[in-house]
Amino acid sequence: MLSLPIAVVSCLSVCLRYHPRPAASELNKPTTWSPDTKVYAYYSPAVLTKKKKQHFTPFKESKKYHSRHGMCENAARAEGVGPLIVSESFCACDRCLEFKYSECLVQVHVGVAKTVEVPRPKGKRSVVTQALALPIFAGGVEQGETWAVNAAAEARATEGAYWLARMLEKPYQNPQEFMNCGERFERGYYIAKIHWLRCVRRGVVRSYKEEKAVSYLSMNAVIRTDGPILLKKPPGGKRKGEVDLSSEEQTRIFNAA
């Protein structure tokens, strides 16, 4: 049982007696995000005065943003780079509850969500190293699956921040160095033969067609989403040869990138 100082117990008793509910609920005054309950908590001086350890580098104006979401599903990137989606205030609109923060319905009140990075300081070891995470990830990729790939900076004007690739085989560790289409694949890299999927239509739903040329892909460039990318055939048998990428899947890719 938790033992509290007498002064603290007295203070909590007064709060519970004279302020049992928020004023808004007592007045039956429904307002946006009005609280209907109160929680009283006690923090000991030992907790409040304990020196904090700096595990990550704060982003610019971090004190201004009170709502933070760690949506990155790539464990190695989350540990090292620490990408976060932040906004000035918490929001519970329909879009934000679906984790689509960029489509927030009340941005005028909570501010525009943006992506920031809080990298781990140099010398601080991450829980999952990139060298260890890659073989584990590559071992879980299967033939026939589609995965998103980080696009090179100079190529992003074509299709955006990522491309899609369909695995023609299970990834393997390259036994010897070789060149393919001007790209060098070093010995020991995890690679696989793929077909690129070319984006033919952008929007809320993106549409793709599979190229027939065989290429090689370094698995280190793959965006490590929680499972392969899910594509659907267009409804009604239209747009033959195309597959669609939903807005939900697009959000999943961006959260993991």
CA distance 151 to 53: 36
What pLDDT does 52 receive? Answer: 61
Whether 167 contacts 176, CB under 8 Å: no
Is 75's pLDDT higher than 50?
A: yes
Q: What is the pLDDT of residues 96-152, one digit of tens each?
A: 888 888 888 988 888 888 888 888 776 555 555 555 578 888 888 999 999 999 887
How far, in Å, are 140, 158, 189 from residue 81 at the CA level?
23, 26, 22
* pLDDT for 109: 85
Share of the chain above pLDDT 70, in %: 79
* Confidence (pLDDT) at 172: 92
Quote the mean pLDDT of the chain. 80
Q: How many Å apart are CA 144 and CA 146, to the nearest integer?
A: 7
* CA angle (168, 170, 176) in 5-degree steps: 100
Rounded mean pLDDT, 145-169? 86
Percentage above 90 pLDDT, the chain = 21
Number of residues written out for the chain? 257
Query: Which pLDDT does position 217 carry in this prediction?
Result: 92
> Using 50, 70 and 90 to split pLDDT, how confident is the model at 51?
low
Question: Which pLDDT belongs to residue 5?
Answer: 62
Q: Are 149 and 164 in contact, with CB atoms under 8 Å apart?
A: yes
User: Which pLDDT does position 156 carry in this prediction?
Assistant: 74
Segment among 85-94, 116-125, 196-205 with least mean pLDDT: 116-125
At residue 67, the 3 state secondary structure works out as strand
DSSP state of 126: P
Q: How confident is the model at residue 171 (pLDDT cuts 50, 70, 90)?
A: very high
Burial of 67 (0-12, 13-18, 19+ CB in 10 A): middle
Residue 1 has pLDDT above 50, yes or no: no
Residue environment code for 95-127, b if the CB has 16+ CB neighbours within 10 A, otherwise e:
ebeeebbeebeebeebbebebbebebeeeeebe
Asked which of 65-79, 108-122, 218-232 is least confident by mean pLDDT, the reply is 65-79
Question: Measuring CA to CA, which residue among 118, 183, 192, 124 is closest to residue 152?
Answer: 183
In angstroms, rounded to a whole number, what is the distance separating the alpha carbons of residues 176 and 15? 71
Q: What is the pLDDT of residue 212?
A: 92
